[in-house]
Structures are given as structure tokens and as C-alpha cells.
Amino acid sequence: MFLKKAALASTIALWASGAMACEIGARVNIIGNEFPAIQTVGAGAAECTGAEVTKNLTADHKDIHVAGMQGNPAEYTSAIVANSTLTILMNDDLVRPLDDLVAKYGQGLQPSQLITIDGKVMAVAFMANAQHLMYRKDILADLGVEPPKTYEEMLEIAQMIRDKGIMQNPVGGAYAAGWNLAQEFNNMFIGYGGTFFKEGSAEPNVNSEAGVNTLNMMKALSEYMNPDFLTHDSNATNAEYRAGNVALLNMWGSRAATQTTADGVTEEVKAGHAIAGPMTVGGGSIPASTLWWDGWTVAKNISDEEAEATFIAMMNGIRPELMQDAEVASQAVWLIEGYQPTDAAVGVFEAAQAGTKPYPMVPYMGLMHGALGNELADFLQGKESAEQALADVEAAYRAAAMEKGFLK
Amino acid sequence: MKHRTFFWFFLPTGLAMLLFIAFPIVSVVIQSVFAPHEAVLKTVENCTPLVGCTTETTIDQEATREIREAQPLGRFVGLDIYLDRGHLAITELAQAWESSDNWGDFWSGLFNLPLYRALAFTLTFTFIVTPLLIVFGLMIALAVNSLNRHLKGLMIFFSLLPMIVTPLIGSLILFWMVDSRGVIGSALVALAGDPNFSLKASTGLTWVMLIVYGVWHAAPFAFVVFYAGLQTLPKDQIEAAQIDGATRWQQIKYVVVPHLMPLVTFVALIQLMDNFRVFEPVVGFNAAAHATSLSWIIFNDLGGETRQLSAASATSVLTIIGVAILLSPVLVRTWRDFKGK
């Protein structure tokens, strides 16, 4: 498996280096997440010659990128970010406006790729992501039902699967206490039409009817999950799905292509795997999901030469020719010119068409996400009421926001 | 030793302690009484792919930079962080006290607050694990000591294994074994006769699992120390006890244990400190929903997308105070012994 990938990667590299030369004049150092699409971008940037290109692609990037870009000169010249992490870097003023570099070297970028904040380009997006439905079409066909369009339908189908004795716990969900659990709350809360903050302020607004409905729906879903659900992150949830223990789950679009290619996926799952757009909830029309983009930035605390080299190298990592390669094209929903959507992209495109809201980019959203992750587990264990859990979230958020100077 | 000699002898150690212990503590204390400046916010237009342009709030960097340059440490908040809900939660405590009719209500209000919840687990863990590991360590040491000398080396190696395994790896291995699809997990499901039985879903059982892990991991340390102590046990004392007709139990109780007592104090001191800082198993077992510890709170404050340095510093200072309180009885006794001499 590894050899195959390595061989493929080197073929791409050979083919690419023949196609285009990328010359840089100063060091480039990239920090970012580690999923396949980002590996591709990193490898593309590393093809540049003339100066050293190093990269640190790790799932723990969020813990180190602020520290790695705070120094002057910054350790990392580029951070690969998403909605939420760009806000974190901008809170500490660590990324450089890119307008001059886009004008000079940014030919071939699509206007939609430019993440513009207050009139300035702060990041260049290369892919979109959203959580959406993945399901087992064989099981649903046996039951004679359509894939669920709403969470209410998902509950009904889950009950049918359990009643027929096909699976004991047919629903999967990344409900691990912490970031994952909070993200599932965010999806459902937006689906119920909730808003996280009071209009135009940092005052929390989750202890509302939408919040209570959200928690009750999550609790109802958890009744159909593996009893260990509070310890299952998205990797563990995917493992359950791949092992054939789960028939319905809300999962990241970026995982769609690799869902059936990992080791140990049963034949049934390979044949039965299907994806669809995100579901709605509570009769609402906005999907219970959030829309994400992934893109790269250039650090602020570096010299102009390094910024230029970084921009050129990163542009090489997202050049349109890469889209010709079928393996690369299936890795993500690329925003790059020339990308032809694959089957794995259906879910994310449906999410975008259905009007899925983007993950909020306000500076205090990270604190809200953290408070949700810490305080909701008690409710899902049946230890306290939904109202109490949401009151706890608001209190925890308020304490953190006062410390950080967002609330007085 | 002359004072002058003592000074030069102690100087390198003293400098190292100042640099690596005293300065970091001072820095943490300073960070805990300062918080980031109040954010200057402004509304701007954001344009993102697939969505288009929306109005969002962001931080006004130019205004913020001016404030930061004027006061680089941040704004002085005194003990505010210590008293907020994430720490000592004075206001919330008073409310819980006023609104509760009985102790049960008050306790549930108290353990709804992160610091007290973490303290409850941390203290339970510390005070159950420490005595247990001393007892187990002593038992293993006595057992290994009475073995044939050819077997001893092998047994010492195996007894030390739990301590050699990295804590995070050790807890991860056990974590997968107790998973509802793991070896121990499936066995428990069969025993309980309930397909939905899950060890990881139960707070009580999670605590038991963490405590068992804590003892398993730390008992070898006590064993090594006690085993070394047993090698210094005078043969004649044991022989005298045997001639007096003492049973094996009496020999242990009246001869061996009193001989090892200073080592018991030493192990208790080190392990109280270590167990109060329990951290790896909470992360390894993914147990944050059921059990948190003071160290886990610090980790969580630093590991979020938005780092809360002041909150983490305040919890660190509280941990240092906690360790000092825990160790004070032993330290007072040592001081008295020193004065007595």
C-alpha cells in the first residue's frame, strides 16, 4: 500500500517537475493539518528549488501554529488554515495581507479562492469541506427506504434497522467530548436556526429554544449509537462504519473518498457505501451542517523575500495541472480551476447548494466551541437537564471571554 | 561544614533551582494576574468561497497594537481569574449555597463547577492510589525477595514493566482492551448480560479503571524502592525474631515494616505529588467526560483553538498550592526531626 502510494507520488513529482519549474529565493516552512489533500499541497510546494522548503503537517497543528508564527522572524512562513483557524491567527495579527502578491504572482487563481476580510486578501482557499450524510445503500434498499433528508427520518430508519435486528447501534457520530461534540452541536444548532451570539456582540445566545431542541435531538440520536460514543472522535466513528457496525452517519466530506480504501474495510461496506447531502432538522430549510474551506496564509513576521518565496511555493502546491490527476482530484472538493467534481464530492456540493451556513468566523467563536465541548457531556450522560447544560456553557464561555477581553 | 564551603558547594544547585524552578513559578504567578487587553472589535465584510460576502466582526489590529505596545503585559486583573467560574468560582459557590435546601443540592451545584469537579477526582485518585500502590509495592517486594536467586532477575524485570511502558501508551492499550468491542470490554458485556453495557460510558467504572491503571503503573516504583530497602535488612534481627518464635506475619509487622518506614514516607511523598498531578490516563482513556484533573484543565486551556494563558497559569498556581498543602504534614515532620537533632 505504502509502496504503491510512494511510487504514485514520485511519478506525479517527476511529471510535474517536467511540466513546470518553480524557483524560489528564500526559505519556506509550512505548518498544517495532515489529511490527504493537504499532503498533496505540501508536496507540491516542496517541489520548488532554489531554497529549502520544509513542512510540518500534523493533526496537532492547532496547538503549535500560533507559537510558531509569533516570533520575529516567524518559524513558519505559511500556515494551512480553515475558517476557524484563520480567525485564531488573525486574532493575534499573525498573517500578512496578500493583495500585492496576488497581483504579482496570483494569475490563475479564481476570484472565489480569495478569502477577503475587510477588503484585504488574507488567505487563498483551495478546497471546501462540509459534514454530510454517509450511509449504507444496501441496508436502506433492503428496508425499502430512501436515504434520510432530515434527522427525524434518520431516527425512524435507525429504529427500523434495530427492530429488524440488522444492527444494534446503526447511527454513528463523532461525539467525543471536546472539539468533536461541540462541532456536532454547532451543526444541529444552526439547523434549528440558532445564533451563537446576540446580534452585534460577544454575548452568548445558546441557552435558547434552538439550543434545547438541539440537545434533545443529539440525545435521541445517541440512543442509537455505540454506548462509548462520548469517546468516539471522527477516526473512531469511521472505524465503526468501515467495520460494518454503523449504517448512517454525519461525516466530513474530506473523508468521503478514503472511506472504503483503508485497510480492513469489509466487502459489504465497500459495495454498500454511499453519500448524500447534509440533513435538515426540526422542519428547517438550512442544513444542520457547516460549510468550511481550507486554504493557506503567509506569515506576517517574515521578510518580504520569504513572503514572496512562500507565495510562489504555495501557488505551485495548488497549480491547476494537479487537477488532471485522478487520485488528486478525488481527494477533496477543490476550488482550483480545472477541477472536475468526482463522486466523492457530491455531499459537499449539495451542502453548498442547499445553503449550508459557513462556520462562524468571529474572534470569540473558538472560546464558545471550547465551552460547548467541555460542558455538554453531562447532559448526554443524563446527569443534568438541557437548560442546565446550556446555562453552564454560557457561564463557562463568559468566564473565558472576560479573561480574553471580549466581554466586560 | 563551614558556611563558606557550604555556599560554594551549594551554589551550582542553587543557581539551577533558581533558573528552572523559581523563575518559572514567578513567571506563572505574573501571568495569572494579567489578562489580555480588552479586544477592540470592528465590523467588516468577509468574502469566502461558495458563500459570498457576509458581514462579520473582527479584531481591529491597529487599535489593539497601540494598546499592546503601551502595556505589553496585558491588563492587570488581580485575583479576578482565580475567582472566576473556571477556578474558585466564588460567586457561583455562593449562589449554589443560597439556592440549595440540602447538602445534596449543594454538592451537585459544587461539582458542576470545573475546578471542584476536577479536585474531586484528583483527590479521590490521589488518596486511593497512593496507599494501594504502597501495599502492592511492598507485597511484590517481599514476594520477589523470597524467590530463588536465579528467578529474581527475571521477576524484577517483569515487575518493572508497567513503569517502563510510557504512561500514554499504557493507558491507550488498556483503553482499547476495555472498549465495548475489546477483549475485556466484550468479556464484561458477556458477564453483565447486557449488550449495551459499557465501561467507558459509566462515570463510576471509569474512575475505577483510572485508579486500577494508576496502581498498576506506579506500584513498580514502590516495589523497587522497598526491594532495595529489604537488601539492607539486618539478618540477625530476623534470626532473633525467628528464635523468639515469631510467625512470618509477625516478622514482617514488627521487624521488616519498621525498618522500611523511612522509605514508606519517601514513596508516599513522591507519589502524593505525582498522583495529584494525574494527567496521562485522563487523556489516554479519553475520559474527560467522566473524570478531569487539575493538570487536564491546564492542558485543555492551553490546547483549545483560543489559548487561555491566564486561566492555565491560575490553575497552575492553584496546583502548586495544592501540592504544598498535601505535603505539609510530611514536611512539618521532617522539619521537626531536623530541629530535634
- CB proximity B35 to A under 8 Å: yes
**Grid cell locating A298:** 503567509
Residue A399 to residue B198, Cβ atoms within 8 A: no
**How sure is the predictor about A18, in pLDDT bands with cuts at 50, 70 and 90?**
very low
What percent of chain B shows pLDDT beyond 70? 99
Q: How many angstroms away from the CA of A216 is the closest CA of chain B?
A: 18
Asked if pLDDT for residue A10 goes beyond 60, the answer is no
Per-chain mean pLDDT for chain B: 90
Q: How far is CA A390 from the centre of its chain?
A: 25
**How sure is the predictor about A20, in pLDDT bands with cuts at 50, 70 and 90?**
low
- CB proximity B107 to A under 8 Å: no
- Give the mean pLDDT of B218-230: 95
By C-alpha distance, the chain B residue nearest A352 is B50
Residue B304 to residue A352, Cβ atoms within 8 A: no
**How sure is the predictor about A216, in pLDDT bands with cuts at 50, 70 and 90?**
very high
**How sure is the predictor about A14, in pLDDT bands with cuts at 50, 70 and 90?**
very low
Contacts of B61 in chain A (CB under 8 A): 90, 93
C-alpha to C-alpha distance for A371 and A364, rounded to whole angstroms: 11
C-alpha to C-alpha distance for B311 and B93, rounded to whole angstroms: 18
Specify the higher pLDDT residue, B61 or B224.
B224
Contacts of B303 in chain A (CB under 8 A): 63
Asked if pLDDT for residue A180 goes beyond 60, the answer is yes
pLDDT at A224: 96
Asked if pLDDT for residue B341 goes beyond 80, the answer is no
Domain ranges of chain B: 37-76, 80-112, 115-340
**Grid cell locating A327:** 487520485
**How sure is the predictor about B195, in pLDDT bands with cuts at 50, 70 and 90?**
confident
Range with the poorest average pLDDT among A296-305, B306-315, B324-333: B324-333
Backbone angles phi, psi at B154, to 5 degrees: -60, -45
User: In sequence order, which residues have a C-beta less than 8 Å from that of residue A185 and are 6 or more positions away?
Assistant: A214, A215, A218, A372, A376
Neighbour count for residue B126 (Cβ, 10 Å): 22
What do you get for the CA distance between the two ends of chain B, in Å? Answer: 16
What's the DSSP call for residue A285?
Answer: S
Residue A392 to residue B112, Cβ atoms within 8 A: yes
Residues A148, A149, A152, CA angle at the centre, nearest 5°?
70
C-alpha to C-alpha distance for B32 and B68, rounded to whole angstroms: 17
Residue A141 Cα distances to A269, A383, B239, angstroms = 14, 38, 81
Specify the higher pLDDT residue, B91 or B193.
B91
Q: List B residues 229-258 in contact with A (Cβ-Cβ < 8 A).
A: none
What structural domains does chain A harbor? 2-129+292-351 (3.40.190.10), 130-290+355-403 (3.40.190.10)
- CB proximity B265 to A under 8 Å: no
Per-chain mean pLDDT for chain A: 91
pLDDT tens column, B139-168: 999 999 988 888 998 999 999 998 888 888
Superfamily assignment of B115-340 in CATH?
A: MetI-like (1.10.3720.10)
- Give the mean pLDDT of B84-104: 89
Q: How many angstroms away from the CA of B307 is the closest CA of chain A?
A: 9
Q: List B residues 305-334 in contact with A (Cβ-Cβ < 8 A).
A: 305-308, 310-311
Across the interface, which of B41, B290, B308 has its CB nearest the CB of A400? B308
pLDDT at B198: 82
pLDDT tens column, A313-341: 999 999 999 999 988 998 889 999 989 88
Closest CA to A95 of A84, A106, A81: A81
pLDDT tens column, B242-283: 999 999 999 999 999 999 998 998 999 899 999 999 999 999
Neighbour count for residue B204 (Cβ, 10 Å): 9
Neighbour count for residue A107 (Cβ, 10 Å): 8
Its pTM stands at: 0.88
